[in-house]
Structures are given as C-alpha cells and as structure tokens.
Chains A and B, each alone.
Chain A
Amino acid sequence: MVNDAGQLYTMEGIAAGLIMILTAYIVVSTTSIYTTGDTHIPDMQLEQLGSDVLAMMDTPDNSSGENQLVGLVYHNRSDNFKKEFLRYCNATTDGTLDNLHMSASVTYRKNSVIKEHPFVAPDETWTGRESAVRVTRWVQLTEGPPNPYENRLQAVLVEVLLWRA
C-alpha cells in the first residue's frame, strides 16, 4: 500500500545528508593549514631582529666612540663579530637566551672582480636545510694595513645568515 511514510523517510535522509555535508564543510574550512605562504612571519621576525642588531652594532655609544661593526670588519675579528652579534640577537627580556645561530660573509671589490670573504663560518647546527634569513649592511672601511680586503677607502657589504636551531 502506498502511503506518505516513504516520502518522509526520503526527506529525512536528504536533510540528514545535508547536515553531514555542511558539518564536514565547516570543519574543513575552519582548519587552518600552515602553508608556505605563512612562513614569511617567522622569517620577518628574524630579519627584523638581524637588521636591528647590525644597525645597533653600527651605532657608536657616544659621539667620539668606536663603531663596533666597522672595527670588527676592518680588523677581521670574526670570533668577536660572531660573539657580539649573537649576544645582541639571543638576548630576551626575561634573561633566557634564544637559540639563534649565524654565519657571515663580506662582499667587496678588488680591481674589477667582485669577491666574497667568508667572515664567520657556520657552526655545527648548520645542515643546509635551515630556513635561514639573510640580513645585510654596507660598511665603510678606511684605508690601512689591517683592512683584509683591498687597501683603499671602500664600502663592503656584510651579509649575515641567521637561523634558529
């Protein structure tokens, strides 16, 4: 005998199906997936920190004071450069240390050739697969014997690679 019960079951089935599909849609659409597009945020944070550090090393503490960055590059003091750079970088306000690592190189011109001087070698945490950021700063060097690049007044480019281990 034909009656309305089958029709009711069909409608209920369709309604239930719709609710399930809707639920699945909401769940899927609210799950945030960490895409490569979002990695620019930690990168930006590191870049900002690194360029702050280079800028502050490039600022003498008083009007007749020594410029730390120029001094370290000019005298090729790579160990001190690494120590100072990481001291600024890893400092936090609660006294704990962050876990940042770095390597650095200096790009300069000798005659008509652009050369790169490996200034600070990467430490053992470097695997080559880190998501490292690069910060740079131009440094003006005066003429003189300790200048490890070309012995003349010149601007060299200090490049620092910075990563979190």
Chain B
Amino acid sequence: MVVSMVPGLLAGLESSGIDYDAVAYRTGVILVEDPGWWAEDPNGQGEGQERLRDGPSWEMVDKDKIKRVGLAVSRETPNILLSTKVEKFFSTSFFDEDDYRSKAIFGDIPYSYNFSLNISNPDGTYDLKQTGSPIPLGYGYIRRVVKIKEPGVAEINESFKDRYTGVEWNSTARNFTVRLDFSHLLDPTIKPIYRINPRIEPVNVTITDFRDYLNDSYEDAALKNVTFWKTTKEDPRPVRLSWLSYNEKKPDTYTLHLDGDSHNLTPNEPVNSSISLVLRPNFMTFMGPTDTLDIQFNFDENPPKTNITGIHHYNNTSVTRPDLKTAVLEVAIW
C-alpha cells in the first residue's frame, strides 16, 4: 500500500506548478475584488461582517481581529482599490510573512509570495509598492489591472477670503467651522467609487493663505484650539466630543499642522500661513450615517488678530478629489 502511494506523493510535488497558478489567482481575486473582513472575536463570525457594511473596515482594527485582507473599496466595486487599504497592506511594519499567508493567500502549505503594485501618477511617474521575496523560476502568477481611489482635500485658500471674513463684533472669540454632513456625504445615489466616505478615508481640511485672513498689521494669529461638535438627527443641539484627549497627539486618530509643525488640538500657537487638520477614519467610528460633525477652529485674542468666521461645508463640491489612478497588481506564488 505504501509503495502504491509513493508515486502519488511525487506526482503531487511535480504538478504543484499548476496549483501555484490557482493560488495566485485566488489571492488576486481576494485582493482586488474583496474589501476584506474582520471579526471581534475569533468564534463570533457574524459581528465583523455586519459592522463592516457601514462600520470600520479591517485596516482600522487590531491585527489579530483581521480575518481576510482585501483592497477593494467595497464589495460592489471590484478592481477599485482604496489607497488607505493599499498603504496598510504593503506596510511590512504592520504585517509579517505569516500574516500575508494567513490573511491573503490561505492554503495548507506555507507558500512564498511576492506582491507588487505599480501605480501610475498623472505626471507620468510611477509609485511601486512591493512586498515578499525575490521571484524564483517556476511560480504561479496573475496580473490584474486596477484603479486606486485616493482621499480628497478641502482646501480653503484666499479665494474664500470675503466669504469667511466677518466684520468686528463684541466678543473676542473667533471661530471657523468645517461641517461634515454624513447623510449628504454618504448619499447612496453617489457611486461608492466617487463617494467621500470619512469612515474609510481620511478627512483633510487645509486652510492655506491664512495670512489673507489676518487683520491689518498683524503678522500672525494664535489658534487657541480645535473642537469637535456632533449633532444627530434626533437631537439637533451640538454636543462637544469629550472622549477625545485634546492635549495629546494621536497620529492614528488625527494630525494637526500649523505652518508645517505638528501640534495637539490645543496649540495656542501663532500661525501665519497654513493650518492643516487630518482626521483618520478611526476618528469617525462613533459617527452614525445621518450625523453631522462640526470641526471648529477657535481663536481668542484681545484685540482679535483675525476675523475668520463662517461654516465651510465639506462635501462633493468643496472637496478636491484626485482622479482614480491606474495601477497594475502582480501576484506571484511559489
């Protein structure tokens, strides 16, 4: 009996070239056509899937909760990859070799792999991302053509100066608000590949040319703090987010830069050229699909050095969204 099994064993080794192609194809499909999947606990399978529909996706949860990585924006949009997922996937400081095997390749034997993604930029340059070992002879292969969706930026430059500058008023407090209306942003009539979804992509608010918003003769104005206010459909009164640690830098949740220097949310530092605030999707996990988030930039000096005021709506018309970028994904398995 043993003798009769030997050829089968050897034959299995010999024909694995064909098997590699199948594994490469499967891995390609998982990466390109699937948004990934995670679960809160290894046995409870339904929860992560339910929450994935409009909750956080795998790139925002701890690594041990991730069950499967996929790079697609959503399950309805094959071949359109989300840049934040791509970044995380190719981050070797986040994933190690076993993670790629257990969350993307699957299979009984520890396959070697090489994933590479070449993104073409509009200016003709290429951005190559790669992970894995050098490719030997005789490997399984698949090539997929994809497009990459990148997050937009709401740039508030000097062209908004007249709209967002008020006349003198009694109080010395000055505040400027950027409003994210989730029911508007997540409008299902907008195709997912063109939609601004703060829950899966970072929100970037950048005030450039801040100099133009300063009152006469002042060189700079001090940004006292940035605060966040949430309103829900049921309760239209804004509630200040108190869970957030305003005095601590949290690069996983937000980054604030004044004239290029990183700060926490209560900088009290003079600024004269640019204010840039990026809120990561982690920040949005508490936001419901019909809620509204107000980001308030507060200035308070006596005498006031800026008269910036007003509400800027963060939406499809005010946000500059980069075009989808064409890319080639190659998966090699051996």
Contact = CB atoms under 8 A, between A and B. Distances in A.
Interface in B257-314: none
Contact of B21 (A32, A45, A53, A92): A45
Contacts of A121: none
A62 B194 contact: yes
A30 B116 contact: no
Interface in A79-125: 88-89, 91-95, 98
B167 interface: no
B304 to A, nearest CB: 40
B324 A59 contact: yes
Contacts of A45: 21, 25, 141-143
A32 B15 contact: yes
Interface residues of B, number: 43
Interface in A25-61: 25-26, 29-32, 38, 41, 44-45, 48-49, 52-53, 55-56, 59, 61
A62 B21 CA distance: 34
A63 to B, nearest CB: 4
A93 B128 contact: yes
A70 to B, nearest CB: 16
A22 interface: yes
B328 A91 contact: yes
10 contacts: A32-B11, A41-B21, A48-B142, A52-B79, A52-B146, A61-B147, A61-B323, A63-B194, A93-B118, A93-B128
A62 B321 contact: yes
Given A22-B3, A93-B117, A49 B143 contact: yes
A26 B128 CA distance: 46
B326 A88 contact: yes
A65 interface: yes
Interface of B: 3, 6-8, 10-11, 14-15, 17-18, 21-22, 25, 28, 78-80, 116-118, 120, 126, 128, 130, 141-147, 190-191, 193-194, 316, 321, 323-324, 326, 328-330
A89 B18 CA distance: 23
A30 B11 contact: yes
Nearest to A22: B3
B323 A65 contact: yes
Contact of A55 (B79, B130, B330): B79
Interface of A: 22, 25-26, 29-32, 38, 41, 44-45, 48-49, 52-53, 55-56, 59, 61-63, 65, 88-89, 91-95, 98
Contacts of B117: 93
Given A26-B10, A30-B10, A62-B324, A95 B194 contact: no
A97 B116 CA distance: 15
B82 to A, nearest CB: 15
Given A62-B321, A88-B145, A30 B14 contact: yes
Contacts of B78: 55
A56 B326 contact: yes
A93 to B, nearest CB: 4
Contacts of B330: 92-93
B194 A48 contact: no
B141 A29 contact: no
B7 A95 contact: no
Contacts of B120: 91
Nearest to A88: B145
Contacts of B79: 52, 55-56, 59
B7 A63 contact: no
A26 B142 contact: no
Contacts of B14: 30-32
A80 B25 CA distance: 30
A13 B226 CA distance: 93
A61 to B, nearest CB: 4
A62 B120 CA distance: 16
